[in-house]
Structure 1
Amino acid sequence: MTPIPTSHSAILRMAIPIILANAATPLLGLVDTAVISHGGSLVDLGGIALGALVFSFVYWGFGFLRMGTSGFTAQAAGAGDDEEVRAAFARALFMGVAIGVLLLFLQVPLRYFALWLLSASESVEQQFVLYWDWRIWGAPAVLANYAVMGALIGLGKTRVLLGLQLLLNGVNLGLDVLFVMGFGWGIQGIALGTLIAEWLCFLVGFKVLLDVLGIGLRESSWPWARIRHARALLDTLNTNTDIMWRTLCLLAGFGWFVNQSAVFGDVTLAANHVLLQFISLSAFFLDGYAFALESLVGRAIGARNRTLFDRVIRVATELSAITALGLAALVFFVGPYAIGWLTPDAQVQAAAQRFLPLAALYVLCSFVAFQLDGIFIGATQSRAMRNTAVYSLLVFLGLSYWWVAIGANQGLWCAFIAYVIARAVFMGLYLPRLRQAKT
């Protein structure tokens, strides 16, 4: 069994590839945008923007396939149970493929639903349809790849994860340039390039993971009795369902923030959108430590080692706290220059700079919630995650009604900060019970 890293330097080496992989994720959208801007029209660009948004929400909603897999895999690895590691991955893989195929069958009603939700011009909608009708065929690969990613994170193979992300973006970039700039295929070329990159990333990742697990494609290589075990299947389903509800609550919270921002007018909406970019960028870094904790905590629980459990949480949280402090300082001091780069509008710049300190405070306060997410995912305590997501969302909604009436957008930001603190507080209340029961 691979030793579990416990030093600051070892955990940092484990987290850095995840941070880089996270940072590479938005490059997929940026690459599509840059290529279509040079080889297409504004209508094409609008179709890309709409399509990327819809696919982000669709796929993010099934993020439980990655999170649940990392926890189950890490615990099995910590217990030295290689068969259960393979079975946990296989259950998630089959579930991801099944959901992906279901999305293919439902692609037409889903497309109509997306167009009903999002308002756009008729010409942009036509381009979105072209993009959707090609890229949706990558759904089984994307969702199956979530299982691959979850297994790699659970096993602590973060450098492999980074390699796969770089492969995805590199192939996507090359094919985008070839199909759009070379062949002139426009938005269909963008969609086709992304589709091929997604399938190639899955196939390579699947082969690499099979090598890591020491199994092949032969039916005899898979522990079918373990895979089909009714209790394990039920646990997987329940865990994934809880994580899905938790994710929907988080989407609702951020959606509420954006919706309330729009009430204050276009300038405030734009300013808050700019500040949310700083928060999203910070999340790439803080998620790196959370992902590392998923593996470390799961493996410590699998080994039934409370000392190890406490040690990895303490060390990873110290690193995350230092990183959050640095990120908050960066947002506060460099933010004014970044705002000027992100938007040329003087009114939006002034509004964003006014609320910049609150965005920096949010970043500073958020690392605890990220760390606890990693702990609870590694421990597969999904019900507690679901419950705390509901409780904190209710706190946010209640405080925003109250504080917005008093302080308008400042009140909204204060409620948003209270939201991320509430997530940490509610999960923190569960932590002693988790520590006692799992180790």
Structure 2
Amino acid sequence: MPITRQDREILRLAVPAFGALVAEPLFLLADYAIVGHGLGTVAVGALGVAGTVLTTMVNLCVFLAYGTTASVARRTGAGDHARAMRDGVDGIWLALAIGLALIALGWPLAPGVVDLFGASPEQAGEAVTYLRVSLIGAPGMLVVLAGTGVLRGLQDTVTPLVVAVGSFALNAALNAWFVLVLGWGIAGSAWGTVLAQTLGAVVYVAVVVRGARRLGTPLAPDVAGVRRAGTAGFALLVRTVCLRIVLLVAMVIATRMGEAQLAAYAIATQVWTLLAFALDAIAIAGQAITGRTLGAGDTVATKEATGRMVRWGVWSGVLLGVLVVVGRPLLPGLFDADPQVTEQLLAVLWPVALFQPICGVVFVLDGVLIGAGDQRYLAWAGVWTTLAYLPAALIAADFGIVALWCALGVWMVARLITLGRRAVGAAWLVTGA
């Protein structure tokens, strides 16, 4: 496949986006590695439960990034740069408000939420500790989402990469110091992540403030604009709720299979998430390019770019699947897994690798339709694919975590069908700011 001008634009956006996207799973992978070596299997399982709750929380608010990317990119393509920055400022205010609300609600609800997973009493206590400390960083986490969306919409994925690399390095250093040197236990791992994410949010705010002042955009919250940012993301919220239901059901089923199965599933989930974010780098390019080209009224360029990105998604998925197979014997050692966990983990990594090419296409098409503002269709598609998954998951509950991962494969195939049908049509090609 010869490299075209479109390929170069995709790579210009996707390569830096990859580094920024993998930051969040790298935060948790660093936590898993440090906690696994310093605190043992029970703590790893607790981290799996708490990490699932936190990932759910962040993903439910991912519209702060995706919705902002789409709106800012469209206005940029239409040449309305001041209004594009206004949308970005409104998104950051909304993120801050939601983050503070999550602290107020999440702290008293943490024990009840953890109990839903059916973990052992020792694991549950550790999970509540990690979750409560991590909630303090919720405003920072969500401001990072909104700030990232602003810069992606402005076709800048390099700044998020710089911030992500710095945050990851700081997170790893602080976690190692707090857990392995100071002996703060699982709370130390959470504090390291909170501090790193909050400093990353400060950097994003500084960048957006500088851009807003350059364009003369007011920095005070615009209540109507913040409300629009929230209501525009409702359909994306429905889509994300469906995604999280799938993953939460899988985690609950894995939890009830036993401690070794839960630990193996938790590690495999973080590996899969890392791969998913790697593939989502192309989807981020899709959001930015689709929003900009449709904002400029160029549907031909939109379709051409979509075709190129789908090809990139397929081949990237093949490459990642091969890397999982090659690295499979080494992964248990990275987490100091005991023999039982190792046996389960080595088995489940096969389906993780097998489904990567399908994931590549699904993620690209998802990003393209988000960039097009086709949120209503994505919401309905999320409902139907979740309904396709649930029976497969219930059947898999009696056959172990390999079968559970195959049920997740059924879900990915259902997403491939629904997104593919939409992409070949023209209903999503709506132009203008």
Report the TM range for the smaller structure's normalisation.
Answer: 0.7 to 0.9
TM-score, normalization by structure 2: 0.83
**Mapped partners of 1:381, 1:11: distance in 2:** 21
Contact 2:294 2:429 in 1 (8 A): no
Which residue type is aligned with residue 109 of structure 2?
A: L
Cα 1:168/1:273, change in 2 over 3 Å: closer
Cα deviation, 1:229-287, whole Å, max 9, x if unaligned, reads 5xx66653333121122112112223344555678777877776665555333212211
Contact 1:86 1:222 in 2 (8 A): no
**Mapped partners of 1:339, 1:109: distance in 2:** 36
Cα 1:336/1:182, change in 2 over 3 Å: closer
Cα 1:161/1:40, change in 2 over 3 Å: same
**Mapped partners of 2:380, 2:28: distance in 1:** 33
TM-score, normalization by structure 1: 0.82
The Cα shift of 1:437 comes to 3.1
Which stretch has the larger CA shift, 57-66 or 45-54? Answer: 45-54
The reply on whether 1:368 has 2:338 as its aligned counterpart is no
Q: Residue 135 of structure 1 aligns to a residue in which SS? A: helix
Q: Residue 286 of structure 1 aligns to a residue in which SS? A: helix
Cα 1:164/1:38, change in 2 over 3 Å: same
The Cα shift of 1:91 comes to 2.0
Cα 1:45/1:418, change in 2 over 3 Å: closer
Match of 1:420 among 412, 421, 425: 412
- Structure 2: runs of 5 or more not aligned: none
Which residue type is aligned with residue 345 of structure 1?
A: P
The Cα shift of 1:215 comes to 3.9
Q: Residue 297 of structure 2 aligns to a residue in which SS? A: coil
The reply on whether 1:87 has 2:109 as its aligned counterpart is no
Cα deviation, 1:294-322, whole Å, max 9, x if unaligned, reads 11111111111112212221222222221
The Cα shift of 1:168 comes to 1.5
Q: Which of structures 1 and 2 has the bigger CA Rg?
A: 1
The Cα shift of 1:228 comes to 4.7
Which residue type is aligned with residue 326 of structure 2?
A: V
The Cα shift of 1:61 comes to 2.0
Q: Residue 7 of structure 1 aligns to a residue in which SS? A: helix
Aligned to 1:75: 74
Matches within 5 A, 1:105-184: 105-120=104-119, 125=124, 127-179=126-178
The Cα shift of 1:123 comes to 5.7
Aligned to 1:222: 218
Contact 1:384 1:427 in 2 (8 A): no
Cα deviation, 1:59-98, whole Å, max 9, x if unaligned, reads 2222221111111111111111112211211221121111
Q: Residue 287 of structure 1 aligns to a residue in which SS? A: helix
Match of 1:393 among 364, 375, 386: 386
Which residue type is aligned with residue 207 of structure 1?
A: A
Cα 1:366/1:107, change in 2 over 3 Å: closer
Q: Residue 222 of structure 1 aligns to a residue in which SS? A: coil
Q: Residue 251 of structure 1 aligns to a residue in which SS? A: helix
The reply on whether 1:337 has 2:329 as its aligned counterpart is yes
Match of 1:317 among 297, 300, 310: 310
Which stretch has the larger CA shift, 236-245 or 404-413? Answer: 404-413
The Cα shift of 1:117 comes to 2.1
- Structure 1: runs of 5 or more not aligned: none
Identity, % of aligned positions: 27
**Mapped partners of 1:149, 1:188: distance in 2:** 27
Cα 1:250/1:109, change in 2 over 3 Å: same
Which residue type is aligned with residue 143 of structure 1?
A: L
**Mapped partners of 2:10, 2:91: distance in 1:** 26
**Mapped partners of 2:14, 2:194: distance in 1:** 28
Contact 1:83 1:223 in 2 (8 A): no
The reply on whether 1:244 has 2:237 as its aligned counterpart is yes
RMSD: 3.7
Match of 1:284 among 272, 277, 280: 277
